[in-house]
Amino acid sequence: MQQLLQPISAVQGSKPICVNNVVYGIYQVTMGIIMTIRDYQKKLDAILQCYETPYWSPLSNAAHLAEEVGEVSRVLNHMYGDKPKKASEDPDDLAGELGDVLFTLVCIANSEGVDLQDQLQSGIDKLQIRDKDRFKKKTKSIA
Ligand SMILES: [Mg+2]
């Protein structure tokens, strides 16, 4: 569980809201705002409903998601893979590309009526219940 929280809590100025090791949302310290994934879905939907076509078609969203995942892969390949980056290329932005993936996932979830909050909780439940003995845990040190 702790390893899952590290990438989230590593975001500058953000802290996860946890109750009994369940992440309910991200607390943005600098803005003083608490926003759950469900809040984010609703906020984005309210913004997009101002457009004639709030969401792209499912296949266009799927293609766009593949593009954004590819951009994440490209950054990681530059960081850890064998493909060197051209000197003429802009600096890589892993956080920005991960944000693009998340944004696109939220668009897909909203357009298909999926509550990501429930699905994220389901993922944690799988880890803590179904797979609780599946992976080797750290042993506690004796102080
Ligand atoms: Mg992108």
CA of 73 to the centre of ligand 1 (A): 11
Per residue in 69-102, pLDDT tens? 999 999 999 999 998 888 898 889 999 999 999 9
What CA–CA distance (Å, rounded) separates 126 from 90?
Answer: 39
Give the domains, in start order, of the chain with CATH numbers: 45-114 (1.10.287.1080)
CA of 109 to the centre of ligand 1 (A): 18
* Centroid of chain to Cα 133: 25
What CA–CA distance (Å, rounded) separates 104 from 69?
Answer: 10
Cα atoms in the Cβ-side hemisphere of radius 13 Å centred on 129: 7
CA of 100 to the centre of ligand 1 (A): 5
DSSP 118-137: HHHHHHHHIIIIITTTTSPP
CA of 93 to the centre of ligand 1 (A): 9
Q: Residue 3 — pLDDT band, cuts 50, 70, 90?
A: very low
Q: Which residues have C-beta under 5 Å from ligand 1, the single-atom ion? A: 68, 71, 97, 100
What local confidence, expressed as pLDDT, does residue 83 receive? 87
Q: Residue 6 — pLDDT band, cuts 50, 70, 90?
A: very low
CA of 63 to the centre of ligand 1 (A): 13
CA of 41 to the centre of ligand 1 (A): 19
Q: What is the DSSP letter of 92?
A: P
CA of 68 to the centre of ligand 1 (A): 5
pTM over 0.75: no
The three-class DSSP label of residue 24 is strand
